[in-house]
Structure 1
Amino acid sequence: MKKSVFAIAMVLFVCGCSGSQARLAEKSLAEAEATIRSARLMGAEAAASAEMKKAELLYELAEEDFYKEPQSRLLVYLRQKSALRERALQNAQIAKQHAERAIVQTQQNSSSSGTTGESLKNEINRLKNRNQCIEKEVDQIKAQNILLRQNTEKLKTRMQTLQIEKKQLAGQAAKIKQPVQQALTGDPGDLYRKGFYFYQTRKYDAARKIFQQYLANYDDSLSDNAQYWIGECYYMQQKYEPSLTAFETVLSKFRNSNKAPDTLLKIGLCHHHLSQFQEAAENWQLLVNRYPETRAAGFAGKFLTRQKDRYS
């Protein structure tokens, strides 16, 4: 993933630089052509033939490089194309310099012979103005190129930041998983006590998940208690239907559980909160009959009396 993102960034960077470089080379070719044309109008081919030959040769090489198409894969193609345009740019600029030298020599020869005309001066001035405009555009392209490079650097920095954040998140995730893994590989009692601690501190969702995890990984003498406390967690959150289901599971799955009296009491209370008063009374009466000496039976008897007084 990192390599593909970097490759895309490189392609975008090379494409951007190549576009700017192409415009710069094109402007330089136009500038060199204009200068060579002016030199020809002034008769530089005769007055400064050596400079003119060099200018025309370099211009032809620059033009050839500018339009040449490499036969390579995309990234290599872009790099080769960029190199050709850079060479075209350099040759065009040198061709312009030779043409300008030819113009200077022609002017000197013309001044000494008195053949410089007013129309020729006007043409030179016009070409100078055009060259100034081209130079301004070249400066603008250079500024755009600098801005593109700066944006590319920002992109690289952002990529590095994202990689760091990714590693940090992975570390945090590992820390979150570690306590649970440690609990499962240690004493089952530690996990049970952890769930009971969450219950006592009123963190009922966390406590319920711990007890459910206990039942999923262990089957021992504390399993019925863990199932009972799942029902208590739902009950304390006033979620009476899932609480009723959890308490009924204690009686159906753990028939000899020491939590049976408390479970019957809570089953009756769940029915009562759900306005199922007949079912509540039946479970409380069953508790009184089956476990008469328990504390839970004492509470059940009081609830039965209140219910009879209320609906009698």
Structure 2
Amino acid sequence: MTTRHRWVLRGWQACGFVLCGALLGATTAHAGLFEDDEARRAILELRSKVDANRQAIDTTNQTLGQKFDDALGPTRRGLLELINQLEELRQEVARLRGANEQLTNDVVQLQQQQREVLADIDQRVRTLEPSKVTLDGQTFAASQDEKAAFDAAMAALRSSQFERAAQLYAELLQRYPGSGYVPSSLYWQGSALYAQRSYNPAIASYRTFLERAPDHPRVPDALLAIANCQQELKDSKAAKRTLEELVKAHPRSDAATAARERLGRLK
């Protein structure tokens, strides 16, 4: 074999190797493509199965949920109604509790007002209710108003407010003509008028006193006071008669002792 033939043979061998390699590569590539398609189909089938299962699960859940709602529907409505009723009751209890607190406050206020009214009524009753009074040896029943009027007149007399005292005695006599304070008021009214040198009005007050209370322990003093007024009026004869009457009617009184002394001077 010549050199040329060797080179040609080697060329054909090289071509054969190249051709075999190409065929082998083509076969390998075709196998790879086939495997990728199978994997894709498998994946798609799995996805379809997963989606189908998921849809089946959702459908089953919806069906079960609906059946559960249908089964518990009345119970749920009953529970909601019960909850609403309980809420209404709670609100009503709160309202009643507030109303009860208001009523309690009202009762407390009414009780306080009642106590005040009762105290006022009791005070008025005490004012109007007569009580026993002992004055100048005389015991009688008198109201608080009568006592207050007499005490006010006496206070004016003791403070030498003779005009004011005479006025207060006159008001008492006019307002309470049947009062047990009338005799003493007439007597002390005469004294207040005498202190003002109103002798004739004083004599009139003493005379009324003697007529209203002939057994009063101050009768001798009233006769002596009348005689004093008569002497101030320069009526000695009238004064003498009054003094003699005093000594004759009440010989053991202190006023009679003073009358005897004055009768001695009149002679």
TM-score range, shorter chain: 0.3 to 0.5
Q: Which has the higher contact order (CA 8 A, sep 6+)?
A: 1
Larger Rg: 2
Please give the TM-score of this superposition, normalised by the length of structure 2: 0.45
